[in-house]
């Protein structure tokens, strides 16, 4: 059974009006524009930052990455990570929820 048949929902992107196509593209773009930088920063700190503080390089600020792993980074890296993890990342799902609401509202109108 193809995944598009689950729940008896048939999606034909070509049948959507141009406004809906632009909206869907905007949702996907904003989802990746908000989520991808946060994921990349988290991954790079996880793979390159030390597991214990290193005073000589200034990596003395404790951060939690990759679901709780402890790493030590500089103050600038800590501020950048805080911005992406605490201020931007909570809004990554908003475009997806908006798209799903739009999809089901349009489906109910048919």
pTM across the whole model: 0.68
Per-residue pLDDT tens digits for 68-98:
999 999 999 999 999 998 898 888 888 778 7
Nearest to 47 by CA among 66, 75, 74: 66
Q: Residue 41 has what pLDDT?
A: 94
Nearest to 41 by CA among 13, 82, 1: 82
Per-residue pLDDT tens digits for 24-59:
788 888 888 888 999 999 999 999 999 999 999 999
- Using the Cα atoms of residue 35, residue 38, residue 41 and residue 44 in order, give the sign of their dihedral: negative
């Amino acid at each position: 059974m193809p995944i598009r048949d689950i729940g008896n929902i048939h999606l034909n992107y070509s049948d959507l009006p141009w406004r809906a196509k632009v909206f869907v593209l905007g949702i996907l773009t904003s989802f990746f524009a908000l989520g991808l930088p946060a994921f990349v920063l988290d991954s790079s700190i996880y793979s390159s930052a030390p597991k214990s503080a290193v005073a000589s390089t200034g990596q003395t600020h404790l951060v939690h990455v990759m679901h709780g792993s402890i790493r030590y980074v500089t103050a600038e890296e800590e501020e950048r990570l805080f911005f992406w993890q605490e201020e931007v990342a909570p809004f990554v799902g908003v475009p997806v929820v908006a798209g799903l609401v739009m999809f089901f509202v349009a489906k109910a109108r048919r």
